Each structure stands twice: as structure tokens, then as C-alpha cells.
């Protein structure tokens, strides 16, 4: 049993859990700056094509922000309700909300998060050497601003994909295979990590299509391989150490790789 649960946060070491509504509210607010940042980044291209929009610019911006905010709320709610049942945690935020010192929870996140971020940035830099020309922006000024990558990519995406999607996948597997008994088997955890990593990669294809114009085989392969690899790292960090280590790694990937790309 100990071996099967090795990839999960030990419930005995987890901090006292705050009320679900408080944890959900805190995590939603944590992800909202990323929502604002990505909507802000969309303003210039939307304004440039304002005449083609089906609605006034302000309405398109408002609806885009609301849609993402609602998706974030759903992902946060899924994680808040299901993560504790399958041994997944957000230890730092939970400790803070419960009025406990965050130092012990933070220390367990720092080293793996930093190592994951350095590994991810190195992988991204190496992969950029073989990046298809179609994915390279013709105008460097049109590239996604760093603040958007840090806030949306580093924080909001982790709440959507790891806290929401990966938690749901693990819970479904646990309910079907183990009938909700005991802690999830390590094979179920690995499958949840893998499937959420693939979905994370697939979620980047629409942006790749906008940039490349057409999804060729090299473009699809590049996007799927690159993002799935980091998704595996982030998923493992979430399962083994907690949500904050995955967020830290994702933020560092963008921060460290930005000057190199």
C-alpha cells in the first residue's frame, strides 16, 4: 500500500483543510489576474479588426473574460470538491487559509518546483532549435507578453488543467476502477497525469493554428510533443508535492526561457 501511494501527498502530512468555499474563492482569485492579462493581450488584435466583430468591442472583451472566468470557477470547484478524496492538495494555500505557518508546506514545494521549472525551460529552449518556421511570429512585437505567460500560462492554466482536469480524471478512474475505496493506485495517478498532459497539449493547437495559419504535421507534432512533455512534469509535481510546485515550475519555465527564445 505504501508503494502504491508513493506518488500522492500523504494525507497525514497535509495541513488542516479550510472551508471549501474559502479555498475555492482563494484559488479563483489566484487565477483571475491571468484571465485579465490574456484578455488585455487580445485587445490590440481585436481593435485592429473591430469592423469584422459581430458585437461591439467592449462586448466581445467582456464576454471573453466572463467565459474564461466561468471556466476557471468550474475547474476550481472540481478541484475543491474532488482533490481531497484522491489525495491531491494545494498545501500552501490551504495552510495560509487555515491560519497555519506556510513555511513547512512551502519548503516541500520549492526544490521540486524549481527543478521542474529549470528542466522545463531547458527542454523548451532545446525544442525551439527545431521549431517550425510557421510558428515563429513574423513581427516579434506581436508575441505574447511575458506577463501573460507568467500569469495565465503559469498560474491560470495550472488551475484549469491540473487542479481541475487532472483531478477530475483521477477521481473518475478511482471511482470506476477502485469503486472509491482507499487511495488511488499509482497506475491511475500515472494515467491521470498522462491524459491531462495530452489535453494540455491539445489545448495549444488553436493558438498554433492562428499563428501558423494551417496545422501541418510538423506544427502539430511540435506543439503536442513540447507541451505534453512539460505537462507530464507539472502533473507529476502536482501529484507528488502539491499544486503550488506545479505552478512554480510553470512560472519558471516562462521566466527562464523568455530571454532565450
Position 61 in a domain: yes
Domain membership of residue 172 (yes or no) is yes
- Residue 138: per-residue pLDDT: 64
Task: Give every CB contact of residue 194 below 8 A, 6+ residues apart in sequence.
Answer: 232, 235
pLDDT for the residue numbered 52: 84
- Alpha helices by DSSP H, listed for the chain, are 20-48, 57-82, 91-97, 103-128, 146-148, 157-158, 167-177, 186-202, 205-212, 217-240, 243-257
pLDDT at residue 8, as a whole number: 57
Residue-wise burial string across 62-82, b where 16 or more C-beta atoms lie within 10 A, e elsewhere: eebbeebbebbbebbbbbbeb
Residue 1 resides in a domain: no
User: Scanning the structure block, which residue is given the C-alpha cell 487542479?
Assistant: 163
**Contact partners, residue 177, CB within 8 Å, separation at least 6:** 185, 188
Q: Are 188 and 174 in contact (CB under 8 A)?
A: yes
The pLDDT, as a whole number, for residue 203 is 93
**CA-CA distance, 160 to 188, in Å (whole number)?**
20
Q: Does residue 5 lie within any of the structural domains?
A: no
Q: Does 3 map to a domain?
A: no
The per-residue pLDDT for 2 is 38
Number of domains in the chain: 1
Q: Is 190 exposed, middle or buried (0-12, 13-18, 19+ CB in 10 A)?
A: middle
Blockwise average pLDDT, block size 10, the chain, 261 residues? 45 64 97 96 86 88 95 98 97 95 93 97 90 74 83 97 98 96 96 98 90 87 94 98 98 89 62
Residues 50, 80: Cα–Cα separation, whole Å: 39
- Owning domain of residue 188: 11-260
Tell me whether residue 23 is in a domain: yes
- C-alpha closest to that of 256 among 112, 110, 115, 142: 115
pLDDT of residue 65: 95
**Cβ contact 173:191 at 8 Å:** yes
Does residue 6 fall inside a structural domain? no
The rounded distance, in Å, linking the Cα atoms of 74 and 68 is 10
Residue 1's pLDDT is what? 39
**Taking Cα atoms as reference points, which of 13, 201, 170 lies closest to residue 79?**
170
pTM of the model: 0.90
Residue 2, in any domain of the structure: no
Amino acid at each position: 500500500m505504501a508503494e502504491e501511494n508513493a506518488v500522492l501527498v500523504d494525507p497525514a502530512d497535509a495541513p488542516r483543510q479550510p472551508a471549501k468555499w474559502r479555498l475555492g474563492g482563494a484559488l479563483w482569485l489566484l487565477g483571475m489576474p491571468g484571465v485579465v492579462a490574456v484578455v488585455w493581450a487580445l485587445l490590440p488584435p481585436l481593435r485592429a479588426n473591430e469592423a469584422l466583430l459581430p458585437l461591439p468591442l467592449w462586448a466581445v472583451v467582456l464576454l471573453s473574460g466572463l467565459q474564461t472566468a466561468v471556466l476557471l470557477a468550474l475547474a476550481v470547484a472540481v478541484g475543491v470538491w474532488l482533490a481531497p478524496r484522491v489525495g491531491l492538495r494545494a498545501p500552501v494555500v490551504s495552510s495560509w487559509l487555515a491560519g497555519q505557518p506556510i513555511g513547512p508546506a512551502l519548503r516541500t514545494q520549492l526544490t521540486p518546483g524549481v527543478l521542474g521549472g529549470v528542466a522545463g525551460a531547458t527542454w523548451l529552449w532545446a525544442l525551439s532549435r527545431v521549431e517550425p518556421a510557421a510558428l515563429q511570429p513574423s513581427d516579434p512585437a506581436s508575441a505574447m507578453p511575458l506577463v501573460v505567460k507568467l500569469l495565465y500560462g503559469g498560474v491560470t492554466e495550472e488551475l484549469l488543467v491540473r487542479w481541475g482536469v487532472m483531478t477530475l480524471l483521477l477521481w473518475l478512474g478511482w471511482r470506476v476502477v477502485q469503486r472509491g475505496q482507499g487511495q488511488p493506485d499509482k497506475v491511475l495517478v500515472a494515467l491521470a497525469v498522462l491524459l491531462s498532459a495530452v489535453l494540455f497539449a491539445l489545448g495549444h493547437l488553436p493558438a498554433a493554428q492562428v499563428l501558423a495559419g494551417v496545422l501541418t504535421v510538423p506544427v502539430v507534432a511540435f506543439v503536442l510533443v513540447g507541451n505534453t512533455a512539460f505537462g507530464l512534469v507539472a502533473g507529476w509535481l502536482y501529484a507528488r508535492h502539491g499544486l503550488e510546485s506545479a505552478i512554480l515550475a510553470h512560472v519558471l519555465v516562462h521566466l527562464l526561457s523568455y530571454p532565450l527564445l
